[in-house]
Every structure is written in C-alpha cells, then in structure tokens.
C-alpha cells in the first residue's frame, strides 16, 4: 500500500474535471451563435462543427446569453484551481515527476507503440512515463493557452497587443476553439488509458494509495 497521489493533486484533478466540462459546455453555447469552423477545403466540407443533429440532441441552440454568463462565472474557479495546482506542483516538488525531460519524447514514442501492441518491450516502472509527462504537462500548457486566448477575445480592445500577438481577433477565437477540441481529444485518450491501467490505478486517484508488491515497491 503505497501513497501515489497527494490529497492536493487529487483535489485539483477532481475539481478541475467538472469545471473544465462546464467551460467547454458553456463555450459550446457561445460558439453556436457563430458556428463557422469546419474540416474541409473550398466548397467541400468533410465535417462541420457542429452538425445540426448534435445541437438538437444536446439542446445547444439559442443559449448565447446563458453561455456567456456561465463562461464568465466558472472561468474564475477554473483559473483559480489551475493556478493553485501549478503553484502546488512547483512548491511541493511534484513537478519533478510531471515535467518531461530529454528522454521523455523517445519514451513517449515507445509507450505509444507499446499501447498499440506494436512494441513488446518493458515500460519504465516510474510514477509517470514519458507519454504521461508530456500529456500532463501539455494539458496544463493548454489551460494556459485557453486563458490567454480567452482573455484576448474577452477584451480585444483593451488587450489589443495580445490580439496582435495571437494573429488577430478571428485567429484568437479559432485558437480558443481548437484548444477546446483538444481537451475533448485528451479526455478520450485519458479515459481509454485509465480503463487500460485498471482499478488499482484509478483507485489511487481517489484514495491516494495503490497496492504494489514489496519487490516492485523497492524499485521506486
């Protein structure tokens, strides 16, 4: 029985999850009012963000005012939780497990190959492997990106320099949208990996402890 995730990290994780979900959902209500993004070229559209059926199923339409009210309420909690999390990892030293190093990228490729059953080697017995380090640090940087692009489109006149830095008002809005999509992709992969890793791993994110055999424990 080995401590894995501190109470603080578990708290930040589980608070962040509903907050980010609320930010994405209220963002969707806002996006609906000018839903111009698509995958395609010229007159050919492969996928429209988002199809009418999607809006209808989830009741997305005509919620701009509500979406903005929610977005500009929950943003405070989302940002506060994010700042506290980063501060915690810095001051507790937990960042050492999380920030990728020069080996992480090679290792991340091996992890991906391993998980796709293309490589049969042994993965490192560390708290977070290279792929996890990149993912968990990357998602924090994404959060930072969302705050910066969000601020820019929130106050484009007063923060004109930020808009210029991001390539213009329209560009900043698009970047903000892309990051929202990226969270959803992160979520899909994250859930798949959590399911793969199994109960012991998931339980550790709730209880903080995982069961390991003494032999393995000594490797830590």
Site residues (CB under 8 A) for another protein? 1-4, 14, 18, 30-31, 33-34, 36, 64-66, 68-70, 72-73, 76, 97, 127, 155-158, 160, 163-164, 169-170, 173, 197-201, 203, 206-209, 211-220
The distance of Cα 5 from the centroid of its chain, to the nearest Å, equals 18
* Cα 6 to Cα 12: distance, rounded to the nearest angstrom: 10
Task: Give min distance, CB of 212 to another protein, in A.
Answer: 5
Asked if 144 contacts 85 with a C-beta cutoff of 8 angstroms, the reply is no
CB nearer to another protein: give 101 or 141.
Answer: 101
* Cα 63 to Cα 69: distance, rounded to the nearest angstrom: 10
Q: Is 180 buried (19+), middle (13-18) or exposed (0-12) by CB count in 10 A? A: buried
Asked if 151 contacts 140 with a C-beta cutoff of 8 angstroms, the reply is no
CB nearer to another protein: give 92 or 109.
Answer: 92
Quote the tokens at residue 18.
């509903």
Task: Give min distance, CB of 155 to another protein, in A.
Answer: 6
Task: Give min distance, CB of 40 to another protein, in A.
Answer: 19
Asked if 50 contacts 40 with a C-beta cutoff of 8 angstroms, the reply is no
CB nearer to another protein: give 83 or 109.
Answer: 83
Task: Give min distance, CB of 124 to another protein, in A.
Answer: 12
CB nearer to another protein: give 69 or 141.
Answer: 69
């Amino acid at each position: 029985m080995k401590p894995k995730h501190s109470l603080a990290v578990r708290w930040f994780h589980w608070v962040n999850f509903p907050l980010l979900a609320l930010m994405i959902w209220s963002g969707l209500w806002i996006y609906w009012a000018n839903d111009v993004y698509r995958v395609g070229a010229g007159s050919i559209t492969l996928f429209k963000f988002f199809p009418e059926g999607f809006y209808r199923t989830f009741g997305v339409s005509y919620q701009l005012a509500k979406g903005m009210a929610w977005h500009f309420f929950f943003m405070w909690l989302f940002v506060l939780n994010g700042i506290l999390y980063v501060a915690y990892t810095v001051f507790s030293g937990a960042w050492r497990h999380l920030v990728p190093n020069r080996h992480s990228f090679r290792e991340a490729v091996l992890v991906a190959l391993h998980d796709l059953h293309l490589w049969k080697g042994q993965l490192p017995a560390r708290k977070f492997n290279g792929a996890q380090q990149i993912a968990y640090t990357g998602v924090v940087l994404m959060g930072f990106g969302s705050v910066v692009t969000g601020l820019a489109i929130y106050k484009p006149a007063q923060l004109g320099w930020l808009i210029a830095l991001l390539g213009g008002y329209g560009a900043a809005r698009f970047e903000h949208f892309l990051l929202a999509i990226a969270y959803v992709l992160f979520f899909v992969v994250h859930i798949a990996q959590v399911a793969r890793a199994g109960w012991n791993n998931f339980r550790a994110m709730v209880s903080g402890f995982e069961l390991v055999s003494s032999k393995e424990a000594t490797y830590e």
